[in-house]
Chains A and B, each alone.
Chain A
Amino acid sequence: MKKQIYSVNGTLSKGFVGQIAYTVCLDRTYHTLDAGLSFDKRVLPAITEEVKEEVRQQVKELYGGEYSSDEELTDACSSMKTEIQLLVNQNDIFIGGIHRQLTDRHMIISKNFATEGGIPQDEISGVIKIIVLVFNVLQDDTHYTVTLSVDEEEAVC
């Protein structure tokens, strides 16, 4: 029976880069793990003049380039995304990572099955560390949620 044993919410500020780790000690051995991550504010709600000026300056400083038109600059701004990825360790050993442009993801791992990015594990036990990898945050007050669920039954593909 699936049991959620942990759920945590966090808030990120614009420009934050780095990782945030959550460590959970499991009370006993399970057959399936489900680590989840979701976040909001993936894209900017509007491409304002302020945003365009900020990007224009960044591109000039970093790449020495200029946009040839306002339309090109607006398109570039529209392509920016908040990017947050997920990585899971069991007893300090990597068991999976999800590196995709998604706002809601789950890594399910059991003995004979794992969602893509995950590595099947004979058992789920000991210490689970969920690492939130924050590559890019476009807006203040970007909310994320990390969940960890376990199941005594094995997951079936």
Chain B
Amino acid sequence: MLKRLELHNHTTESDASITVSELLEFMLEDHVDAFALTDHNTTSGHHKIKKLLAENNYPIECILGMEYTTYYGHILCLNLETYVPWENINLHKPELLFRAAKEAGALAGIAHPFSYGAPFARGCRFDMTVTDYSAVDFIEVFNCPEPLHEVNEPGLKLYEDLVLQGEDLAMTTGMDLHGRWKMTGHYATYVDCEPGEPISTALDRAIKTQKTFITKGPVFEASILNPSDSESGPTSGIITDSPSNVAIATKQKETNLRCHLHPVIKPGFTHDPESVWMIECLTLDGSTWFEAPTLSTEDFIISCSAIRGLAKEPSAAPGSNRVIVKLYEGKSGEGQAAIERLIAISPTVKF
């Protein structure tokens, strides 16, 4: 079962305008499945939220966390039960703090890497030099209230570049809530959760296997369909391999990419029913765009041979072929930059 998570939220325990109790109410009103409590440099809200949830039968879970707000960047920690000191933060060895948080059982990621920092808000931009990205679990690719082109677009590109180069990083998004801010129209993170499974466990698995979904609306997933799967697999897909070259790619004896919409939509999502949907397949060699005539929960199949970077003989090493697959509303060249039309990002496809 896919659950919607809001992974970056503050309260009056640090510098926000809503209390822990008010944050909980706000998340309940928006039908969030689980939210993280990530105040700046304090875990003082943890016992308060635990008490509220224990005393009430709310249909929501809380992910304990904290935003390490250092002089050189913000490090978002999720599933953080124990405060880990950060005062020895080292501009040139941030891995030390990431690893210390992970040893304490937390998931540690880079928050809003390209926010504006000094001279206005020192620390908001991630200025630290990461030498070993295996210490980092995730990158917050969208800090929703931040400027799209100046802050979030380079954040997404950083994630994409690192992942396509072989780093095993998950992506997250967050509202960075400091008050009762409207969440409609912004991205949320979704993860798959087994029945009865605590959200902390599901999140841990999703981050460590890079299986997080980001969307403003429908939850979108791309996965590899091997030739043997194709013989018995779905056959309903129709896709174009370029706007002018329509191709039907079903039951082909080759590796295909299956794009799938889960029947889960973020509340408040609206779109033009006449819209054209586009799928971008990004590899190290660049982007290939495909037009999806309809938006539905039926599979659409893309031949990997049509994807730039995969058209040649794919690498034999398992997992060394990587594709980042993104869903857009509307065609490119319609006056808006692509990222302004970006609806959803699938977990990275590795094969």
A residues engaging B (CB < 8 A)?
17-19, 21, 55, 58-59, 62-63, 76, 79-80, 83, 85, 87, 89, 93-94, 96-101, 114, 116-120, 131, 133, 135-136
Residues of chain B within 8 A (CB-CB) of A83 are 121-122
- In angstroms, Cα B40 to Cα A156, docked, is 25
- In angstroms, Cα B42 to Cα A136, docked, is 20
**Which residue of the partner chain B has the closest CB to A120?**
B47
Residues of chain A within 8 A (CB-CB) of B118 are 58, 62, 136
Given the known inter-chain contacts A17-B71, A101-B15, please indicate yes or no for A118 contacting B119, CB distance below 8 A: no
Given the known inter-chain contacts A99-B69, A100-B15, A131-B87, please indicate yes or no for A117 contacting B120, CB distance below 8 A: no
- In angstroms, Cα B120 to Cα A76, docked, is 8
Task: Kindly state the interface size class of chain B when it binds its partner.
Answer: 20 to 34
Query: Are A94 and B83 in contact, with the CB atoms below 8 A?
Result: yes
- In angstroms, Cα B118 to Cα A76, docked, is 12
Taking CB atoms and an 8 Å cut-off, the chain B residues in 97-148 that contact chain A are 116-123, 125
- B39 at interface by CB-CB < 8 Å: yes
Give chain B nearest CB distance to A130 CB in angstroms: 12
Given the known inter-chain contacts A100-B15, A101-B15, please indicate yes or no for A80 contacting B42, CB distance below 8 A: no
Residues of chain A within 8 A (CB-CB) of B223 are none
Give chain B nearest CB distance to A52 CB in angstroms: 12
- In angstroms, Cα B125 to Cα A140, docked, is 24
Residues of chain A within 8 A (CB-CB) of B47 are 119-120
Known: A59-B119, A62-B117. 20 other contacts (CB 8 A): A17-B122, A21-B87, A55-B119, A63-B116, A79-B120, A80-B119, A85-B41, A87-B87, A97-B40, A99-B14, A99-B15, A99-B39, A99-B41, A100-B15, A119-B44, A133-B87, A135-B71, A135-B122, A135-B123, A136-B118
Query: Are B15 and A116 in contact, with the CB atoms below 8 A?
Result: no
Fill in one digit per residue for B6-18: 1 if any A CB lies within 8 Å of its CB, else 0.
0000001111000
**Which residue of the partner chain A has the closest CB to B82?**
A94
**Which residue of the partner chain A has the closest CB to B16?**
A100
Fill in one digit per residue for B33-76: 1 if any A CB lies within 8 Å of its CB, else 0.
00000011111100100000000000000000000010100000
Give chain B nearest CB distance to A12 CB in angstroms: 14
Residues of chain A within 8 A (CB-CB) of B117 are 62
**Which residue of the partner chain A has the closest CB to B47?**
A119
- B286 at interface by CB-CB < 8 Å: no
Query: Are A116 and B122 in contact, with the CB atoms below 8 A?
Result: no
Query: Are A114 and B44 in contact, with the CB atoms below 8 A?
Result: yes
Most chain A beta carbons < 10 A, residue from B14, B40, B42, B71: B42
7 tightest Cβ-Cβ pairs between the two chains A and B? A99-B40, A94-B83, A97-B42, A99-B14, A97-B41, A136-B122, A135-B122
Query: Are A99 and B42 in contact, with the CB atoms below 8 A?
Result: yes
- In angstroms, Cα B15 to Cα A117, docked, is 10
Residues of chain B within 8 A (CB-CB) of A119 are 43-44, 47
Query: Are A96 and B42 in contact, with the CB atoms below 8 A?
Result: yes
Residues of chain A within 8 A (CB-CB) of B120 are 76, 79-80
- B314 at interface by CB-CB < 8 Å: no
**Which residue of the partner chain B has the closest CB to A58?**
B119
- In angstroms, Cα B89 to Cα A131, docked, is 14
**Set A63, A79, A116, A136: member contacting B44, Cβ < 8 A:** A116
Taking CB atoms and an 8 Å cut-off, the chain B residues in 243-260 that contact chain A are none
Give chain A nearest CB distance to B124 CB in angstroms: 10
Residues of chain B within 8 A (CB-CB) of A58 are 118-119
Query: Are B13 and A117 in contact, with the CB atoms below 8 A?
Result: yes
- In angstroms, Cα B84 to Cα A89, docked, is 12
